[in-house]
Structure 1
């Protein structure tokens, strides 16, 4: 379910529409809904990271929720660049609606060493984030 079709549609602080997708900034988390057919790379990620610092400030304490409502590809090893540049997330939640999405989650888990969970619904992911202490 897309953010705009959910009970959270009036809860976000900011929505940013980029060529790569829609990004919703909430108090404790960002929900990313990447567009169909894009290839999510480090270059795309840097734009989203810049927006996160702009929104939350330098001392970011936020979880990233990838709401995979569309099919797209990503370069999982680019997560290494994220950590190499000393960026930080409290946790990552992936909402996958099909088997391909689940396989991508398994691959991404290899490159992440923080709290990382897979969910079948946006609601479950947000409930998990709300339960985290940070």
Structure 2
């Protein structure tokens, strides 16, 4: 299910950013990607996404990341290692898989990501998990 077709798009305020390789949805607690069929996420695309994150996040804000993998695309898992070393604004990641192959790919990526990475079978599962992370409960109860 696409984010814009879900109940969450009506319940959670967001900003949509469109790219040639897919769409991003930026909320207060998480960033969600829906990338196009056949895209290969390499260092160039990852840098573009990180740049967007940093421009749209208040300084010091921590967020989660949800990859809503509606389409088949490839991802260089080594990017997680680089990301772990260079950035600290991500609290956790959820990958929504709609096929067994995508789920297996997410399992491989989990080995490269140093923070919590949950593999999910639905967008609802990913968003509910993200919204209920203790890091967000603390942060948003103080605001």
Bucket of the pairwise TM-score, normalised by the shorter protein: over 0.9
Alignment check: 8 A CA contact 2:37 2:73 kept: yes
- TM superposition shift of 1:55: 1.1
Structure 1 vs Structure 2 CA RMSD: 1.2
For normalisation by structure 2, the TM-score amounts to 0.88
Alignment map for 1:109-120 (pairs within 5 Å)? 109-120=110-121
Moved more, 85-94 or 114-123: 85-94
Which stretches in structure 1 are left out of the alignment for 5+ residues?
none
Question: Which sections of structure 2, spanning at least 5 residues, go unmatched?
Answer: 136-143
In structure 2, how many angstroms separate the alpha carbons of the residues matched to 1:14 and 1:55? 9
- What are the equivalent positions in structure 2 for 1:31-70 lying under 5 Å apart? 31-70=32-71
Aligned residue-pair number: 134
Aligned residue for 2:90, secondary structure, equals coil
Contact kept, 8 Å, 2:30 with 2:63, in 1: the verdict is: yes
CA distance in 1, matches of 2:23, 2:124: 18
- Alignment deviations for residues 109-132 of structure 1 (CA, whole Å, 9 cap, x no partner): 110111111111111111101111
Q: C-alpha distance in 2, partners of 1:111/1:17?
A: 27
Match of 1:122 in 2: 123
Deviations 1:25-54 (A, max 9, x none): 011001100110100112101111111111
Per the TM alignment, residue 86 of structure 1 is displaced from its structure 2 partner at its CA by 3.2
| Greater per-residue helix proportion | 2
